[in-house]
Amino acid sequence: MARMYAKRKGKSGSTKPHNETAPEWSNTDSAAVTELIIELGKAGHSSAVIGTILRDQHAVPDVRSVLGGKRISSVLAENDIGGSYPEDMMNLMRKAVGIINHIGSGNHKDLHNKRSLELTEAKIRRLAKYYISEGRLNSDWKYKRDELRLMVE
């Protein structure tokens, strides 16, 4: 796939191997894995961090194979754990707040980061359009730079 804002092709990424069954060394107790996900979610970890912790510390290489196709984010949503915004959108909003703080703290001539802020805000708007169409955001939600710090949790 090509890069969106660069006139070059992107590097291909790795793909997970197609395994229908979990390895014999892995933890396949779905109740225990669900409890771990809920516990880590209440501790404030994101779903990506929870997946990494489960892989590295609890021998769960693929949560979806253990839970019968359910994702970590769906388990968190069933138990009302998580923020009001999707995780990828919240990460972009945190990035935008960091860039705004950088530009506002005496670096107002930093043209590269001004451009980076514009690109990040464009990504937020595109993602918001998608989430509004999917029903995960309110239909009257708008991105406002001056209210961004209040939205970031």
Q: Is 137 helix (H, G, I), strand (E, B) or coil?
A: coil
Residue with tokens 């138990």: 79
Assess if residue 20 is contained within a domain: no
Kindly state the average pLDDT of the residues 54-74: 90
95 and 147 part of one domain:
yes
pLDDT, mean of residues 103-110: 94
Residue 24 covered by a domain: no
Q: Which of 10-14, 25-29, 95-99 has the lowest mean pLDDT?
A: 10-14
Q: Is residue 153 pLDDT above 80, yes or no?
A: no
- In the structure, what pLDDT confidence band is assigned to residue 57 with cuts at 50, 70 and 90? very high
CA distances from 101 to 71, 94, 108, 121, 142 (A): 34, 11, 10, 14, 21
Distance CA 76, CA 82 (A): 7
**Same-domain check for residues 37 and 62:** yes
Nearest by Cα to 99 from 111, 117, 112: 117
Does one domain contain both 74 and 92?
no
Instruction: Please report, as a single letter, which amino acid is at residue 6.
Output: A
Helix runs in 1-153, H state only: 30-42, 47-57, 63-66, 72-78, 87-104, 111-134, 148-151
The CA distance from 125 to 120, in Å, is 9
* Section 70-98 average pLDDT: 91
Please indicate, yes or no, if residue 124 is contained in any of the structural domains.
Answer: yes
Residue 14: inside a domain: no
Share of the chain above pLDDT 90, in %: 60
Taking only the tens place, the pLDDT of each residue in 78-87 is: 998 887 888 9
> pTM for the full model?
0.78
In a domain, 63, yes or no: yes
Does 4 map to a domain?
A: no
Domain housing 38: 30-78
Between the alpha carbon of residue 132 and those of residues 32, 46, 49, 114, 128, the distances in Å are 34, 22, 26, 27, 6
Structural domain tally of the chain?
Answer: 2
